[in-house]
Amino acid sequence: MNDKLQKIRQQFPILNCRVNDKPLVYLDNAATTQKPLSVIDRMTRYYMEENSNVHRGLHHLSQLGTAAFEESRRAFQKFLNSELAEEVIFTKGTTESINLLAFSFGEAFVHEGDEIIISVMEHHANIVPWQQLCARTGAVLKVVPVNDAGELEMEEYKKLLGPKVKLVSIAHVSNTLGTVNPVAEIIRLGHEAGARVHLDGAQAAAHVQVDVRALDVDFYSLSVHKMYGPMGVGILYGKAALLNAMPPWQTGGEMIDKVTFEKTTFGDLPYKFETGTPDVAGVLASVPALEFLQEVGWDFIAEREHALVKYATEKLAQIGGVSLVGTAKEKGGVVSFNIDGVHSSDAATIFDHFGVAVRSGHHCAQPIMARYGIIGTLRASFAVYNTEEEIDVLVKAIEKTVQMFG
Amino acid sequence: MTEIKSCAETEAEIEDEFSLFDDWMDKYSYIIDLSKELPPLDEKYRNDQFLIKGCQSQVWLGAEYRDGRVYFQADSDAIITKGLIYLLIRLLSDRTPQEIIEAQLESLKRIGISDNLSPSRSNGFANMLKQMKMYALVFQTKEG
Same domain, A237 and A359: no
Nearest CA in chain B to A378: B56
Same domain, A301 and A280: no
Same domain, A15 and A137: no
Same domain, A287 and A390: no
Regarding predicted confidence, which is higher, A368 or A355?
A355
CATH of the domain at A320: 3.90.1150.10
Best probe of the B interface among A349, A356, A374, by most B CBs < 10 A, is A349
Q: What are A322-365's pLDDT values in tens digits?
A: 999 999 999 999 999 999 999 998 999 899 989 999 998 887 88
How confident is the model at residue B57, as a pLDDT?
79
Pinpoint the alpha helices (H) of A81-153: 94-109, 128-137
Pinpoint the alpha helices (H) of B3-123: 7-19, 24-35, 79-92, 97-102, 106-108
Q: What are B40-93's pLDDT values in tens digits?
A: 999 999 999 999 876 577 889 999 999 999 999 999 988 988 998 999 999 999
Q: What are A101-143's pLDDT values in tens digits?
A: 999 999 999 999 999 999 999 999 999 999 999 999 999 999 9
Same domain, A11 and A46: no
Nearest CA in chain A to B35: A405
CATH of the domain at A257: 3.40.640.10
Q: What are A250-276's pLDDT values in tens digits?
A: 888 777 788 888 887 888 899 999 989
Same domain, A95 and A158: yes
* B contacts of A376 (beta carbons < 8 Å): 56
Same domain, A278 and A334: no
Q: What are B58-67's pLDDT values in tens digits?
A: 889 999 999 9
For the complex shown, is ipTM > 0.85? no
Rounded to the nearest 5 degrees, what angle is found at the Cα of B28, between the Cα atoms of B25 and B30? 110
Whole-angstrom distance, CA of residue A200 vs CA of residue A223: 10
Q: A245 to chain B, minimum CA–CA distance in Å?
A: 39
Percent of chain B with pLDDT over 90: 51
Q: Where are the domains of chain B?
A: 7-143
How confident is the model at residue B121, as a pLDDT?
47
Confidence of residue B123 (pLDDT cuts 50, 70, 90): low
Cis amide linkage into residue A270, ω under 30° from 0: yes
What region does B22 belong to: left with phi over 0, alpha with psi -120 to 50, or beta? Answer: alpha
Query: Is A346 close to B79, i.e. CB distance below 8 A?
Result: yes
Domain that holds residue A118: 40-294
The three-state secondary structure class of A323 is: strand
The three-state secondary structure class of A346 is: helix
Residue A35, domain member (yes or no): no
How confident is the model at residue A370, as a pLDDT?
86
Residues of A with catalytic roles: 364
Write down the mean pLDDT value for chain B.
86
Q: B6 to chain A, minimum CA–CA distance in Å?
A: 30
Q: How far apart are the first and last CA of chain B?
A: 29
Q: Does domain B7-143 have CATH number 3.90.1010.10?
A: yes
Same domain, A236 and A301: no
Same domain, A157 and A127: yes
What is the layout of strands, in order, in the sheet containing B69-76?
A: B51-52, B59-66, B69-76
Find out whether B129 and B117 touch, Cβ atoms under 8 Å: yes
Identify residues of B whose CB sits under 8 angstroms from chain A CBs: 24-25, 28-29, 32, 55-58, 77-81, 115-116, 122
Whole-angstrom distance, CA of residue B37 vs CA of residue B42: 15
Catalytic residue among B55, B77, B94, B98: B55
Residue A57, domain member (yes or no): yes
Q: A376 to chain B, minimum CA–CA distance in Å?
A: 8
